[in-house]
Chains A and B, each alone.
Chain A
Amino acid sequence: MCRKQRQGYDALNRLQTAQENSGASWSQTNGYDRYGNRWIDLGGGVQNLYFNASNNRISGWSYDAAGNLLNDTVHAYTYDAENKISKVDNVAAYVYDGEGHRVRKLVGENTRFVYGIGGQLLAEFDGGTGALKKEYVYGGGSLITIEPTAVNANGTQYTTSDVLGSPRVVTNASASVVSRHDYLPFGEELGAGVGGRTQAQGYSGDSVRQRFTGQERDPETGLDYFINRYHSSMQGRFTSPDPLLASAKFSDPQSWNRYTYCGNNPLVNVDPLGLLWYQNNDSGGLKWFDKDPGEGWKQWTQYSYYAGEQYGWVALDPRSNHYETGFETQGDAAGYSNAMEYVTAMQQDPAHDPHQFDQFMQMQLMLAPVDIAEVGIEALGEEGTELLAKGGIDAALKTAATETATETAQVILNRAAGKGAEAIVAKQLEAEGYTIVGSQVGVRTSQGLRFIDHLVEDPAGNLIAMEVKSGGGVRTGLQVAKDTEMATQGATIVSSKVPRLTGQLKVIPTVVRTVPR
């Protein structure tokens, strides 16, 4: 059955109108204020929501001091210290781990969730019995769910997603359609009875959690779990402000509204973490909005440009989509650019291609303002020295480079951000009564080396690894995995510059301190 959809946009690329089959199936007209608050125009000057222009909150609805929505007229929400929903209608509902992943649901079900090092959901277990309920496999742009036959007869199922990542068709091992899902632009689901959709076609519901843009939809609230906050498709906005300050870009005032979903352009942009929206490119990767700064700017490497005498060399930070200025030389900008490229690649694909890594290292060695190889060998400590003695410089470089890849890239980024953040946090920690045991201390995990910005001891004698981030910086997936290992299985301190610590295998939790750039 053919369904023709049409959309219209306003001058700020916000979705204004959407309809199917010329409105015979459904249509929606969106209105916006100058701040990007979105409502549905119900006609006759009536709209479904009204807003307080001073803080972008929905008029008449209650919020806490941090801007979290407390009641959407259907459900009441309680938030934890990390601004995540913990209770629904005053009943304990969700539990999160230290990385912010939702690891348990207690409302409507009792389920534990297990995540992989890249943050993907891997499995669900019954919270009461511990029995496996469902496993997830990712591949070929598809999500595969496997349910033990003891749980139900679904067995293995395959989802086929659209360009936004929303699973649209679910098929079984016999390639038969099990179910289908269609959505309005901001994520409300279209069921049987709308526009010729029928239960026989598969619009009959299923047990797949992943819905709009592939995020988990909670039937108890109707909200979508976007990892860092919750999205309400009914209102077409997030229920909490964006915690990533860096996602507010000077160049795009619409991004200053911290509640809007994907710049109100939901059929083009995605925001898988609830932090920063971007556009998928043709091959499913990231497409950065202002990668090309425009006429008169000379591109040097993927993310670096020469911007003339006024700005000199600049490089794009793809995480925040900002241009970083102030690089004194072409090499500095290129080094930053390369590191960014690598970190971005590592975030997308932690198990990266070694060839890609070699290429990165080669470029770094030619262009980077710091000597990565020396950093690597230094980080390896005595092992680096042994390697150097046994296998010569090439073997030592290779091992050092392989083990310190991500860390080295991060070191470059940290340096590019300046010494400010590291030193500021050091002073903060001392003022708060921490003892700095060592700074830039290298530890070894099974996943490679990790540099602890500040290893500190709190007044109660607990050792903590303080990770310093400036601006909107966040840890890479690999860093999080290493930190998790360090906090659970432990890591061996390899920095020989702090002799009293060298060689100790310790369990140390990591805390991230962010300094505004």
Chain B
Amino acid sequence: MSLVKELQEALFEAVSRKIAAYGFTGNKRNFCFYKRTPFGRLAFCLAFIRHRDDSDVTLEMAVRFDELEDLVNEHENRLSKAQRKSTFSLGVELGNLSEGRQKRWTVRSLEDVEPVAQSIMNSFVAIGLSYLEKYSDVRTALEVLSGDDQAAWLHSPFHDVRAKRALGLAFVLDDRERFSQLAAAKTEFLRSRNDSGLASFLEFREALEERLEQAIPR
């Protein structure tokens, strides 16, 4: 095993031991920690940036609402069943959230592992947990995904993806007034940007509108 890989695995193990207290279970293959919730699951990932002699790591957090993701992925034929289960509804890179830019930790040797793991945990507790708790609330998630400003981009950078999730959440909440507002606003926004995802969004919108008209149960 290369030194860099060894460092990554050591850091993962170190964080894994500490984060277990918060109910998160690690997946060694993608260096992510997951926690199941009544509505879906939460993710906290060590996103490694590999170099020849060391590795930088950034922290990614994400929230998945199962019902929303199932709805959005219903017609995603290009995704395998497993892939459909691995999409998330919104998320953020910790540094972009807290400092307005990517935040990195660097591990160069095994001696770095423990202090870096502790520093990561400090950030997780101070920022990550708060984020995951805040946006686990479906109404709060809907608020942020409804936006089309830079603050909203942080949580869902692809505009059509964000639009689908916002519309989907309004549908899931059965908030018809919000649904109509979002359908119009998001269509206008994507159209004004000439977004390549406009057609896909319109297809999704149409499918949901049909279901609303036919009063198909969610």
- The answer to whether A461 touches B150 (Cβ under 8 A) is yes
| A495-517, CB < 8 A from B | 496-507
- B residues near A378, Cβ cutoff 8 Å: 29-30
**What are the interface flags for A432-476 relative to B under an 8 Å C-beta threshold, 1 for contact and 0 otherwise?**
000111111000000000000000010101010000000000000
- The answer to whether A503 touches B51 (Cβ under 8 A) is no
B158 is an interface residue with CB less than 8 A from chain A:
yes
A498 to chain B, nearest CB (A): 5
- The answer to whether B91 touches A499 (Cβ under 8 A) is yes
- The answer to whether A439 touches B159 (Cβ under 8 A) is no
Main secondary structure of the interface of A (DSSP, over half): mixed
- The answer to whether B83 touches A463 (Cβ under 8 A) is no
Residues A461 and B193 in contact in the complex (CB < 8 Å), given A498-B47, A503-B87: yes
A416 is an interface residue with CB less than 8 A from chain B:
yes
- The answer to whether A381 touches B30 (Cβ under 8 A) is yes
- A residues near B50, Cβ cutoff 8 Å: 370, 375, 411, 415, 440
A90 to chain B, nearest CB (A): 33
For the complex, give the distance between the alpha carbons of A307 and B128 in Å.
Answer: 50
Residue A438 contacts which of B46, B47, B54, B159 (CB distance < 8 angstroms)? Answer: B47
B52, closest chain A residue (CB): A415
B32 is an interface residue with CB less than 8 A from chain A:
yes
Choose the segment among B1-9, B167-175, B206-214 that binds chain A (4+ C-beta atoms closer than 8 Å): B1-9
B24 is an interface residue with CB less than 8 A from chain A:
no
Number of residues from A at the complex interface, CB < 8 A: 46
Residues A500 and B92 in contact in the complex (CB < 8 Å), given A378-B30, A383-B80, A436-B102: yes
- The answer to whether B62 touches A500 (Cβ under 8 A) is yes
Residue A415 contacts which of B51, B88, B154 (CB distance < 8 angstroms)? Answer: B51
Residues A463 and B29 in contact in the complex (CB < 8 Å), given A411-B50, A415-B51, A498-B60: no
6 contacts between A and B (CB under 8 A): A378-B29, A436-B93, A461-B150, A497-B60, A500-B62, A503-B83
Q: A419-B51, A439-B56 are in contact. List 18 more A-B contacts (CB 8 A).
A: A370-B2, A371-B1, A415-B52, A418-B51, A426-B102, A435-B96, A435-B153, A435-B154, A438-B47, A457-B157, A496-B86, A497-B31, A497-B45, A499-B87, A500-B90, A501-B158, A503-B79, A505-B78
Q: Which 10 A-B pairs have the closest CB atoms?
A: A500-B91, A419-B51, A415-B52, A499-B62, A499-B88, A507-B196, A497-B47, A503-B87, A496-B30, A436-B102
Residue ranges of A at the interface with B (Cβ–Cβ < 8 Å): 369-371, 374-375, 377-378, 381-386, 411, 415-416, 418-419, 422-423, 426, 430, 435-440, 457, 459, 461, 463, 490, 492, 496-507
